[in-house]
Amino acid sequence: MLLFSTFGRYLTKRFARAILSVFSTFFFLIGTLDFVELMRRAGDSPIATTPRIVQLALFRAPAVAEQIFPFAALFGGMFALLTLSRKLELVVARSVGVSAWQFLQPAAAVAGVIGLISIMVYNPLAADLKRKATALETRLFVRASGKTGAAQDIWLRQRSVDGQAIIRAAGALPDEDGLSQVTFFMFNHDGSFKERVDAKQAVLLPGNWELAEARITSATQEPQSFASYMVATTLEPEQMRQSFTPPDAVGFWSMPTVIDRTQRAGLDTTPYELRYQALMARPLLLIAMVLVAASVSLRFFRFGGVTKLVIGGVAAGFVLYVATQLSEELGSSGIVNPIVAAWLPAALGTMLGTLALLHQEDG
């Protein structure tokens, strides 16, 4: 096999270096842009010092950069193949009888291995850093200014002996089971509005919430303020955390446990199942990106027109990425089975890339 020959090892190094270089470049750009945005927000928080902002940006960057692995495989594969073509190394390889399928073996192997490492090592680390980033962001911004800067608040719903309640919070407490800048909308058993309770924070204890600096507003009484106030609940800490923990904050190895726990709690497991299947499909998706890159890069030394080929490769990779996102949206909404939604784009991309190469190489 070419993969284990001297030329195969040379190609493996070239593809690995190209893909990792592209990923590192994007990682640096993401971290830098996020740091600039966090520094802008730091003006509202007196405790958000520059070292803490740098730490927060480093904690947030891996989870965001994880989404660019497919593009790293696409651009890295294109760059490596075009470089080999420009230096006529692939021309020499073809002249001695090495087919495109043979010198693509190292590229596919590198993409598959990077995909496996990304889900087995990188993803758990990124998920853990994302949780730490959320906790640090809460300390820096929520406690200081009462705002998270997030696009959405945390919403919960509960039933208790006092009736139903809808809970809105700005964020989660980093050091204990609870919420910060919280509002309880309380309803009677018949569904009529009872009262509104605003509090600086709410800590979940067995059987009740303990609210600090609470202010109660109702339609029948004057507003009242309490240093401490108790609200009955049937929620468990795990149920509370799972209700607002995003799937990308759960590591690959922890995902089966989280899915089982969420299912036993009677909550929807579709987002976690979809994320788990998407992670397992990532190596195949990276291989599909490499095949797409090869289908638009191998014709350079035959026909010229590198600009059109590069644009075509970028367009093909973008279409595949959009198809992946669309499929995941359909899976998260329950229209498509999560397994089908996660694996279909990668499988289709691999087959289409293989078909394009067959058409080019074998007519």
CA dist 170 → 20, 164, 197, 243 (Å): 37, 20, 14, 14
Q: Which of 202, 32, 59 is nearest to 137 (CA)?
A: 59
Q: What is the distance between the alpha carbons of residues 211 and 227, in angstroms, rounded to a whole number?
A: 8
The residue assigned the tokens 């195949």 is 284
Residue 211 is predicted with a pLDDT of: 94
* pLDDT digits 0-9 by tens, 153-189: 788 888 888 888 889 988 777 666 888 889 999 998 8
Higher-pLDDT residue of 26, 81:
26
* pLDDT digits 0-9 by tens, 321-357: 888 889 988 888 888 899 999 999 999 999 988 888 8
The structure's pTM equals 0.80
The residue assigned the tokens 């493996």 is 12
- Residue 241 is encoded by which pair of tokens? 């955390």
Assess whether pLDDT exceeds 60 at residue 363: no
